[in-house]
A and B are shown apart, each in its own frame.
Chain A
Amino acid sequence: MDNSVSTQNSLVSVQNLSFSRGNKKIFDDISLEFERGKVTAIMGPSGTGKTTLLKLIGGQLFPEQGTVIVDDNNVHRLRRSELYNLRKRMGMLFQSGALLTDMNVFDNVAFPLREHTHLPESMIRTLVLMKLQAVGLRGARDLMPNELSGGMARRIALARAIALDPMMIMYDEPFTGQDPISKGALVHLIKSLNTILGLTSIIVSHDVQETAAIADYIYVISEGKVVGQGTPKEIEQSESDWVQQFMNGTADGPVHFHYPAKDYVDDLLSTGKRYS
């Protein structure tokens, strides 16, 4: 089987992808392109399966239909060892940071280096300190993960994600639950890593302002479909009501405030304990 598929400018290309969980269709025939060296954002409300998309790209989940191509490899056709080799070149930043709780910050950042390389310990030390310096937390190397704030944990995780000098990084909700200072620090970090290291970045987020500030291109997803795409400017001027509601954060609009339910008055007047 020939796994190489050429796509001109895209590092990651998602083609006609469908995925469902149980009876719920999470993605319905969507296609996305992520250009090399650019920051591409995927936006949409919570629960639209944005994290699922990253796991599909990383080959942790299998789609029902469609293909995912990363650096000319069809991710879901690769053999296990090939997939693992590809993953060494893909960094991923989990929402929680996903630091290993039984080792300190230094060992966490050193973890991928120790697992995948046979570098001498002195070299590993230098590399780890460089990565920690890049995220501004060289002084925190002896702390344990439970001693870190959420923002620090994410920055450590970022240092770990770039430890093997990957070609791309996927950020899963990097700004969620961060105070403004941490958010600012992360925005700055993502942008500078992207330009300095020439990384391709994929950001999954629902934080409109921060994402719009650093993204080169934005896809807006809702109910398994792409409802809007373009540069941040184009998205802002989008005529879609849905996109407008999402970008401006109004309570009611095409997405209703109320979860689907039967008529309010009927519901209050009915006596039954169970919904039949």
Chain B
Amino acid sequence: MIELLQNLGKNTRTGFTKLGRGTFFLLQIISGILSVLPRPRLLLNQMYSVGVLSFLIITISGLFVGMVLGLQGYYILSDFGAEETLGVMVAASLVRELGPVVSALLFAGRAGSALTAEIGLMKATEQLSGMEMMAVDPIKRIISPRFLAGLLSMPLLAALFSAVGIIGGQMVGSGLLGVDEGAYWSQMQANIDFQDDIINGVIKSIVFGFVASWIALFEGYDAIPTSEGVSRATTRTVVNSAFSILGLDFILTALMFGDN
């Protein structure tokens, strides 16, 4: 029993110190962003590996999610004779929830894990240490550009996901199941609000991009510099990002759509 309490205490303590290290790390990253701005090349290279390489998985997933929504939505809505509102249903679920959340989860799995592994291996092979000894701050040179790239890519990826998904829903809905195409778009436009739905969705995706990039970079930077340590850190990145994204999604949804 006492052992259990001791373990709990120990875990709490290590959890808090990790949170503290993470916060300090975040402050360092943010203060490093200023020195990235005069060197857009660093950012461009990272936009490629973080954004462009996630493009395909995001758009294909978005298309399928939208098509499934079209199919499922049609079956449910047609029971009530409300097939025309299919567009609203597909667009609202994508723009408000699935777009930001699913693309952030995919982002954490695709780009986040790669970032952790890359940073962890750079640490394990003394590249970060070596850079420090060459009087180059690895946070400014390596970490901050990646963070910024994640932050900028995430809203673009989420928007792509939603847009492709809505088109996918329309393809299934009016192409396959015979929902009137005009009704699909007009009902959507009448009921999806720019501020409440689109802007809030974009805010969500920025928050998720921030958190997912932060976790991925911190886990890599904080990894034990062995092959096992890096592999564990990569796992932690995916798990912790998923938890944080879903938890934050609940909080943000409650804040944004609560007082309607």
Contacts and interface: CB of A to CB of B under 8 A. Distances in A.
A43 B168 CA distance: 68
Contacts of A55: 129
A87 B125 contact: no
A94 B134 contact: no
Contacts of B131: 100
A88 to B, nearest CB: 5
A60 B132 contact: yes
Given A95-B126, A96-B125, A85 B135 contact: yes
B136 interface: yes
B137 A98 contact: no
Given A98-B125, A98-B126, A60 B135 contact: no
Contacts, number: 52
Contact of A101 (B125, B129, B135, B137): B125
Interface in B128-182: 129-137, 141
B127 A87 contact: no
A263 interface: no
Interface string A151-187: 0000001001000100000000000000000000000
A94 B130 contact: yes
Contacts of A115: 134-136, 141
Interface string A86-119: 0110111011101111000000000110011000
A265 B136 CA distance: 56
B129 A98 contact: yes
Interface string B94-130: 0000000000000000000000000001100111011
Interface string B32-64: 000000000000000000000000000000000
**Contact residue range for chain B?**
10 to 19
Which of B122, B134, B137, B141: most chain A Cβ within 10 A?
B134
Interface string A111-133: 11001100000000000000000
A98 B136 contact: no
B126 A94 contact: yes
Interface residues of A, number: 24
A91 B127 CA distance: 14
A71 B134 CA distance: 17
A268 B111 CA distance: 52
A58 interface: yes
Contact of B135 (A87, A99, A157, A160): A87
Interface in A61-99: 84-85, 87-88, 90-92, 94-96, 98-99
A99 B141 contact: no
B132 A112 contact: no
A84 B135 contact: yes
A90 B133 contact: yes
Nearest to B142: A100
Contacts of A91: 133
Contacts of B136: 111-112, 115-116
B33 to A, nearest CB: 18
A84 B122 CA distance: 20
B95 to A, nearest CB: 37
Contact of A88 (B125, B129, B135): B135
B145 to A, nearest CB: 12
B127 A98 contact: yes
A50 to B, nearest CB: 15
Contacts of B121: 101
Contacts of A95: 126
Nearest to A54: B133
Contacts of A90: 133
Contacts of A157: 130
The 7 A-B pairs with the shortest beta carbon distances in the complex, nearest first, are: A98-B130, A87-B135, A98-B126, A92-B133, A84-B135, A88-B135, A94-B126
10 contacts: A55-B129, A60-B132, A60-B133, A85-B135, A88-B135, A92-B130, A98-B127, A98-B130, A101-B125, A116-B136
Interface of B: 121-122, 125-127, 129-137, 141
Given A111-B134, A111-B136, A115-B135, 15 more contacts: A84-B137, A87-B132, A87-B133, A87-B135, A91-B133, A94-B129, A94-B130, A95-B126, A96-B125, A98-B125, A98-B126, A100-B127, A112-B134, A112-B136, A115-B141
